[in-house]
A and B are shown apart, each in its own frame.
Chain A
Amino acid sequence: MPGREPPDTQVVRARLGLGARAARLLGYRELLVGMVRKELKVRYKNSVLGFAWSLLNPLLYLVVFYVAFDLILGSAIEHFEIFLLSGLLVWNLFSTGLGAATGSIVANAGIVNKVSFPREILPLASIGAALVHFALQALVLGAVLLVLRWDVAWEYVPLLPVALVALLVLTAALGVLLSAVNVYLRDTQHFLELGLLAWFWMTPVVYGFMTIGGREGAGKALFMANPVTPVVLVFQRAIYARLDTGGGSSAPRALSGEGVTAILPPWTWGEYALYLGLTFAVGLVLLAVGIAVFGRLEANFAEEL
């Protein structure tokens, strides 16, 4: 039987193609699940409240922003708490997922140096853990909405899973990319903290999209180019469901009415979907870049750690 290779044959060489990389990752999916569970378990180890922190965290944010924006600065947004939470939960998924993913390879240096397994698992597991926290928070928000008998915009609800997947693609892309860069340049981790803070304020989570989106100028283009914004907008449009402080949620109408401030853009369903599509496209392109860079850099991980 010369020429026939046994099924376990592996070729160790400098670089792995994209297809081989994906197939290898798929074979290790149980490890991915195990690593997500590990991340969840270790995160709140030795804290009294444990997993409750996952829910307490957005609530404390809510209190801070409510005091700062609603009570002190006098935000015109009614039901500020629903508005804030509908955007904050997705933002938190993005920022905690990306933050944990970036440090993941360095944090697991011990195992990277000893066992050969697809290293992408480490950043992906960090994002998976953030997703579990998000799901828990979203469940509680859903329950609160039910109790309040809150009117969500049902026609936008089908866009929510699409927005979630788009955000996960974007987070995974940046997480895989930055986790590899962080091995070589540990400053990445520290810089990211600051970068995420700036990014947060560039995303309409605490203030309405129309605060900046309603203006003209160069700043607006930058604001619109933020790939997290469409995801946040879709969540706000579906859950908060109010376009302006006049309570308008239906067809676009004159927004300059007395005492009425625009919050969300008066776009059609198609326009929201199209804007979201841009995030998807950006995410996929970044994912290809991220995997390519990761593949280029991972060869020297063991040497650098």
Chain B
Amino acid sequence: MQVMVRAEPFDPGAELARLTEGAGPGAGALVTFTGLVRNDGGLAAMEIEHYPGMTERAIRAVADQAITRWALLGGLILHRYGRLLPGEPIMMVATLAAHRAEAFASADFLMDYLKSRAPFWKKEIGEDGAAWVEAKAHDEAALARWDAPASPAQAVKAGS
């Protein structure tokens, strides 16, 4: 799975096309999520700070967990830092698997981890000044659901 942390803008469509073209035999499902800078009235820009070194390591560690847990065939985690404008893509996650259950679940898992365990900090720049975005309790709480072992029903579905 490719991990990219960078300042430059990206084109989610182009990244997906690349993944689709490069998908090997056995890949039957490609799921993707793209996060955008929400165009709330008054937002001039979003600045994203990151911890060089730790960011790549932390994302790579969670990617490896996802690959193992859901037997993924590939994918992509791309996250920007720096100054972003309203409407711009911030990040994307794409997961490639044999079947859709694994592709959906792993993308969901990766997003929950990226929200709370990837060292980025967002600052909203408005007309009246700037404010750091606060972490949300529900994002932290979302991590806990991935600790529970898969139910027998989930295991059966995953094998279908």
Same complex origin of A and B: no
- Residues of A in contact with B (beta carbons under 8 Å apart): none
- Residues of B in contact with A (beta carbons under 8 Å apart): none
